[in-house]
Structure 1
Amino acid sequence: MPTPEVSQPVPALDIAGLTVRYGPVVALDDVSMTVHSGRICGLIGMNGSGKSTLFKSIMGLARPTAGRVTIAGHTIAQARARGLVSYVPQAENVDWEFPISVREVAMTGRYGRQNLFRRITSRDRTAVDDALDRVGLTDLADRQIGRLSGGQRKRAFVARGIAQGAEILLLDEPFAGVDKRSEATIIDLLRELTAAGRTVLISTHDLSTLPSFASEAVLLMQRVLVHDTPEEALRPENLALAFGVDVTGRDAEVNR
């Protein structure tokens, strides 16, 4: 009898041949990568390497010239409609003086699951309370968002993604400008989420801490140079390709 085929799990994120241009500028060039559920994938590269464009492409905010993005087996539009993916950009476009509380910011993550009239249900309140507890902001839930520190603000927007119930979290430089307590809180939370089967794609410039929390890493310079363990991605010869210098300080040719 023929051996029955074993079905492979659907990847959380599957990108094939993704190319994005801004006029004559190539932001992403034939990017292909696959990330499976329950993984933390670190995204590293110098400024201008395409990290933010990759996040925007996954969210459907940047139009590709070529290629495709599949999220948990769905198109981008389907995944967003189902609330499967949440994005925390590097810099939130927020009026910090606007009278909105931390709880209300987190509640915006529930909008996709509410009816046309945005009627808040007990399930919404429970999801928000749980998210705020997990990021350590319960005591500050009623504080105006602009009165938080940089690290607390970042945690508030991570809470929004958790409250949404997204299976895939995209975090663009969540450690930039945050205090060590907030960084540790976010890292512990990401570990909890991935242990429960969620998936995280996170960009960071803090290369020293990457191996302590990431399952894998992608080294990006318009295209994928390395997709392997954090230790392999951080080998000096690989970093030289992405950052243009090696550990001895000598210039290295950047593979574009």
Structure 2
Amino acid sequence: MSNPDTPHQVPALDVSGLTVRYGPVTALDDVSMTIRPGRICGLIGMNGSGKSTLFKSIMGLVRPTAGRVTIAGHDTAHARSRGLLSYVPQAEDVDWQFPISVREVAMTGRYGRQNLFRRITARDNSAVDDALAQVGLTELADRQIGRLSGGQRKRAFVARGIAQGAEILLLDEPFAGVDKRSEATIIDLLTDLAAAGRTVLISTHDLSTLPSFADEAVLLMQRVLVHGTPEEALRPENLALAFGVDVTERRDHPTRTDAEVGR
């Protein structure tokens, strides 16, 4: 885990009174949360709880009905133009048949720092080389992205964020469809990034591993139900609020894990 907060830091991410409606449907209702630099925050909640909408709002891809998002003291548009944000999408949001190599995926993180002609400089190549080395994909740099394993694909998109120089990484279900070894590799990588001052917001259904790497957790159900330590968020009575789980039933079946509740 990363180091504790330093007083008087400008928040890496500050969400205040965020409400998002799609017609008559309220996806987010008065969501407020603050994450300090160098922290790993787990975002947990059932499908339809608003996690993806929150990510899209932070990225500026969804116009809020009310409220605001501030990234390192900047509005979302300014933060994106400066390359402060990087997003690792869910697997189903990516066309894995697209003819692009691992190195080219990482290089897309440099686009905001290139001129209109996308001319690749020595600095771009060095940044991508360093990023691929950090995620352990140097030897697979020329492989088409769809030919990687699930865990390798996730690491390729993390490499894009590293090459970009993003201060805040948003990861949407990075452990879905990956084996335990790949999951451990991704966790180690994110922990190293947080120790270096990067901020990570990560949605996950794998609740059992959350306390091992996250500094804090947000339990979401259109609104923020809990924002505290992972252990606090994973208390049975809080999970009951978010997932509709009968706490008495859970006590009658002690072998049922938190990870199973989240799936």
- Shorter-chain TM-score range: over 0.9
Give 3-state SS (helix, strand or coil) of 1:197's partner: coil
1:1-256 alignment, distance < 5 Å:
8-91=8-91, 93-249=93-249
Give the gaps of 5 or more residues in structure 2: 1-6, 251-263
Kindly state the Cα deviation for residue 89 of structure 1 after the two structures are TM-superposed. 1.4
Retained in 2: the 8 A contact 1:226–1:233?
Answer: yes
User: 1:34-68: per-residue Cα shift (whole Å, max 9, x none)?
Assistant: 00001000000000000000000000011100000
Which residue identity lines up with residue 83 of structure 1 in the other structure?
G
User: Displacement, 1:97?
Assistant: 2.5
Encode CA deviations 1:65-120: one digit per residue, 9 max, x unaligned. Answer: 00000000000001000000111111364332222111011100110011111111
Q: Please, what is the CA RMSD of the aligned residues?
A: 1.2
C-alpha displacement of 1:247: 4.2
CA drift at 1:227: 0.2
Measure, in 1, the Cα distance between the counterparts of 2:218 and 2:96: 33
Structure 2 CA distance for aligned equivalents of residues 12 and 92 of structure 1? 28
SS at match of 2:240: helix
The one-letter code of the counterpart of 2:109 is G
Give TM-score scaled by structure 1 length: 0.92
Aligned length: 244
Q: Which amino acid aligns with 1:163?
A: A
Structure (1 or 2) with the greater helix fraction? 2
Give the secondary structure class of the aligned counterpart of 2:156.
helix
Q: How much has 1:180 moved relative to structure 2?
A: 1.7
- Give 1:248 deviation, angstroms: 3.5
Name the structure 1 match of 2:253: none
* Identity value in percent: 88
Indicate conservation of the 8 Å contact 1:88/1:170, yes or no: yes
Instruction: Give the secondary structure class of the aligned counterpart of 1:208.
Output: helix
**Maintained 8 Å contact 1:239/1:246:** no
Is the 8 Å Cα contact of residues 57 and 64 (structure 1) preserved in structure 2?
yes
Aligned partner of 1:71: which letter?
A: I
1:102-154 superposed Cα distances (whole Å, 9 cap, x missing partner) = 10111001100111111111111111111111111111101111111122111
AA matched with 1:60 = G
